[in-house]
Amino acid sequence: MNGIRTERLLVAAEIEKNIADEATARSGYLKLLPMLLSDEDRAVIKEIIADELNHSELLRKMALVYNGIESKKD
């Protein structure tokens, strides 16, 4: 494997780590959600979760550019 390809895969691996971190954050927010007392606080957390989902989608598109591997469609 040539150096450029290896470097691209290392970038893709870092992007994948960031996607995993986004999922971990969402999990924490989902655990927090039922503990919140006000509808306003719950709405804020739901908005944050939606933002995190958007980040994951953007990162997945970016990872595809670097790794060239598309998800399998069943």
Write the pLDDT tens digit of every residue in 30-48: 999 999 999 999 999 999 9
pTM for this predicted structure: 0.84
- Torsion of the alpha carbons at 23, 28, 31 and 37, rounded to the nearest 10: -130
| Amino acid in the structure at residue 25 | A
Residue 39 lies in a domain: yes
pLDDT at 37: 96
How far apart CA 62 and CA 23 sit, in angstroms, is: 16
Residue 70 lies in a domain: no
Q: Find the domain containing 13 and state its range.
A: 3-65
pLDDT at 27: 97
Residue 33 lies in a domain: yes
pLDDT average, residue stretch 13-33 = 97
Asked whether residue 56 carries a pLDDT value surpassing 70, the answer given is yes
How far apart CA 58 and CA 73 sit, in angstroms, is: 19
What is the band of 23 on the pLDDT scale with cuts at 50, 70, 90?
very high
The number of distinct structural domains making up the chain is: 1
